[in-house]
Amino acid sequence: MCRLAGITSSEYFSPLENVLALETMKEGHDGSGMGLMLKDLGGEFASMKEYPVLSAICSKDGYAALEAYMQRQGFKEVHMWSPSIKRVTGIEKRDYYFAKFYEYPEEYRNKPLREKEDLLLRTRLKLRAMGEADESIVVFAFYPDIIALKEVGDPLELGEFFGLDDGRLQAKIVLAQGRQNTNYAINLYACHPFFIQGFSSMTNGENTAFIPIREFLSSRGMPGYIGYNSDSEVFTHILHYTVRQLGYPLTYYKDVITPLTSQEIAARPDASALGLIKSSLRMLTIDGPNCVIGFLPDGTCFMVQDSKKLRPGAVGGRPGKYALMSEECGVDRAVPDRDRLLDVFPMKYDMAIIRPNAEGIMVWNQTDGTIAPIGKMPARAAKKTVKKKATAKATATKGRKKAVRK
């Protein structure tokens, strides 16, 4: 099993916090890779949120080719970040690690966001194709306010290798995966988290329905649905397809990947819509075990489980900072000063959702389509709970009095 560490906060923090959380869950990853995905950047990047950021690794020849291509396409570099590399035994340093901030080509500067997103996607795919044969160019993301960083090695050692303790790299949302290689060769494109047009996710599990899902996505005519060096990348693409391409709300993502039975669907107020979704998107049904953590372009974070619920997952924190982790000890490391009684362990019908600015956890229930904030029980539910407690107390008291009389 891999290990997942997601943190969302109202304040900027270092991705080293995620790395340290992965270290507490070390028995679940084998040092075959770590990926970091940062959203809502701070520090030296806080004033550059409108510029698309190209996150990549290059050889010397690949770097020259990338520079020439970006200039020909009309992208103008405005800033560049490179990690403060430190030599660490066992980690092979590549020539260039960087995140480059660009101005859009002049003809795109006033275009709608959707057209800009399509331009960035096409550019990323072109650069990937240019360097894929010899790994001279490896591109993880090209999107505003996003930085991705990946490498082969142990997460804690990679944190030292990249100099994450220097405080330069900061964000309000960070996803991190400590990889345990199972089915595929060690390849940076197989390392989670995955990203496409503002959507990102990472997964702990085995996607045994990978082939039919991949074939369905590949037939949609979306250029970004390619690659699949990992069977988990389809989870990001299903999320993108469900929310961006089809325009469904986030909660329908769970209905797509783990559809209810016909009897369960009949109990939902949106039963007619669910029936159509299930029949038309049945090829996107997953067969786990899988725990999926991800975020949307607006900064909403979530965790879902497949129907088997055979992978651990815990969500907890306090207003202003929440952690989504493979294990509770990871939450303990990230947010120790919290009320543990409010921790959430999503089950087969649950989706844990944390809105932007990390104000609280909400749990959406798939069986009835309702959503409830944790720690802030709705008034009607609270009254029912109080009434149940009062009834239980009265029954218990009555029982004790009968026992005394006997």
Is 141 within a domain?
no
76-89 pLDDT, tens digit each: 999 999 999 999 99
pLDDT on residue 208: 84
Contact 108, 91 (CB under 8 A): no
CATH number, residue 217? 3.60.20.10
Domain span at residue 209 reads 1-23+171-369
Query: Alpha helix locations (H) across 223-327?
Result: 233-240, 251-257, 262-266, 271-280
Is 152 within a domain?
no
144 to each of 117, 164, 224, 298, how far by Cα in Å? 9, 21, 17, 12
Is residue 4 over pLDDT 80?
A: yes
Total structural domains within the chain: 1
Is 91 within a domain?
no
Q: How many angstroms separate the CA atoms of 214 and 187, rounded?
A: 19
Is 247 within a domain?
yes
Computed over its alpha carbons, how large is the radius of gyration of the chain? 23
Is 95 within a domain?
no
Angle at CA 318, nearest 5°, toward 317 and 323? 25
Is 77 within a domain?
no
Is 3 within a domain?
yes
Q: How many angstroms separate the CA atoms of 193 and 214, rounded?
A: 18
307-366 pLDDT, tens digit each: 877 788 999 999 999 999 999 999 999 999 999 999 999 999 999 999 999 999 999 999
Is 279 within a domain?
yes
Is residue 392 over pLDDT 70?
A: no
Structure tokens at 152: 């082969």
- Mean pLDDT score of the chain, rounded to an integer? 90
| Strand locations in 250-375 (E) | 290-295, 301-305, 314-318, 321-325, 350-354, 361-365, 371-373
pLDDT on residue 109: 96
Contact 219, 213 (CB under 8 A): no
Contact 127, 139 (CB under 8 A): yes
pLDDT on residue 181: 54
